Amino acid sequence: MARVLVPLASGCEELEAVTVIDLLRRAQIEVVAAGLTPGPVRGSRGTVLLPDCTLEAALQQDYDMIVLPGGQPGATNLEHDTRILALLKAMAAAGKFTAAICAAPKVLAVAGLLDGKRATSFPGALNAQQFPNVQLETRAVVRDGQVFTSRGPGTAMDFALALIEVLADRATRDQVEAGLVRPTTHGGSPSLTEVDFS
């Protein structure tokens, strides 16, 4: 079974963190949510998350993938944590998966993991002036080799489902997605026939 590390920094985007943790666990993927510091983590909207363990404890295990939630100042806190940057570089060097959403793709870029790669992020989190070697795209989820990036809270489900497909298989992804009862979209929003205004 795949094992995934989700580091939780103060000020993380809780919708992204919880969506990734929840959906991967629905796929029977082992997820370790690790706080950068001991104790609960307060997200960017004030939601308090309880990590499984500290990052120090989590680093005693090996992982197939690391997933960085975005949000501010969460992504900046990840970027300034030397343990996270070292782990990202080590995992990339070992051919493991690295993934980030929203503002967190900047952490991958700072670690040098996006050089010469296609990536996406929250608008403005990655800019061509600061990272001229990154090929910026606006798709919801971008995979380039072993690196996954995504746009923000609204793309968190698509992001998590893409991760499930690569960590498990398409059938598992489809099974998890079916259980979510997501509406069919037309132009990015549910059709009026699917919305009950009563």
Which one, of 189, 68, 70, 67, lies nearest residue 122 by Cα?
Answer: 70
H or E, element range at 76: helix 74-79
> What is the three-class DSSP state of 63?
coil
Out of 12, 27, 102, 119, which one is annotated catalytic?
102
Is 53 an annotated catalytic residue?
Answer: no
Give residues with Cβ within 8 angstroms of 96, minimum separation 6.
63, 64, 65, 66, 146
H or E, element range at 166: helix 156-167
- The residues assigned a catalytic role are 102
